[in-house]
Amino acid sequence: MLKDNLRKVEETIAESCRKAGRDPKEVTLVAVSKTKPMEAIRELYDAGHRDFGENYVQELREKAEALPEDIRWHMIGHLQRNKVKYIAGYVYMIHSVDSLALAETINKEAAKHGRVIPILIEVNVAGEDTKFGVSPDEAADLAEKIRQLPNVSVQGFMTSAPLVDDPEEDRVYFRKLAHLSVDSSLKNNDNSKVSVLSMGMSNDYPVAIEEGATIVRVGTSIFGHRDYTNHG
């Protein structure tokens, strides 16, 4: 059943790509598995899926230790500096970097594991009080500073658009993040252009793809609604 949901989301992604004249291979689907049990992840793993997103450090770590090593774990939730050490050895990409201090901690912990951790700058495009992330004005400057850190690789930007009834209302925010990405003269450590755009969730990922998303983070449409009873 989860597998059917996954295939449906994949089909919708392909359809949105066709509509936008894009190659579906440009878009990575991160299945957001926060609060969901190992068996659910295992089911999708067995169906061939490898990219999963988690919001909580402890949960990411427990799942990474128990599940196959070739899963790519995306940390998409707010990350406290003192918790980076618990995931530095497991995480594939951190989407939620919103300060130089956090990036410096990631850099330090990545070095201990002899690795370079790919990260995204989280941008609060709509300027919502309730959301983490830097303002669009600060994003390019922060990215440039983080770029100096040897064990962190800035790959692009991430945003969570406001929760709206009509996903069309979020189009303007996705477009803004895409422009930010094009405008910033950002280069990676290897001098390649920064190009990852992590945007779009269950309610609005088709619109995000039309506006250039290269990663969509979809939870509810794959796993169903979440029960937060045992989570912070």
List residues near ligand PLP by CB under 6 A. Answer: 32, 34, 55, 76-77, 160, 201-203, 217-221
Burial class (CB within 10 angstroms; exposed 0-12, middle 13-18, buried 19+) of 16: buried
CA–CA gap between residue 161 and residue 145 (Å, rounded): 25
CB of 226 to ligand PLP, least distance (A): 7
8 Å CB contact between 87 and 60 = yes
CB of 76 to ligand PLP, least distance (A): 4
CB of 29 to ligand PLP, least distance (A): 11
CB of 42 to ligand PLP, least distance (A): 19
Is 60 or 149 the residue whose CB approaches ligand PLP more closely?
60
CA–CA gap between residue 73 and residue 222 (Å, rounded): 17
Whole-angstrom CA distances from 209 to 26, 103, 167, 196 are: 10, 28, 12, 12
Is 34 or 49 the residue whose CB approaches ligand PLP more closely?
34
Is 76 or 88 the residue whose CB approaches ligand PLP more closely?
76
Is 149 or 199 the residue whose CB approaches ligand PLP more closely?
199
8 Å CB contact between 45 and 68 = yes
Is 144 or 169 the residue whose CB approaches ligand PLP more closely?
169
Whole-angstrom CA distances from 143 to 115, 124, 152, 153, 184 are: 19, 14, 11, 10, 9
CB of 192 to ligand PLP, least distance (A): 26
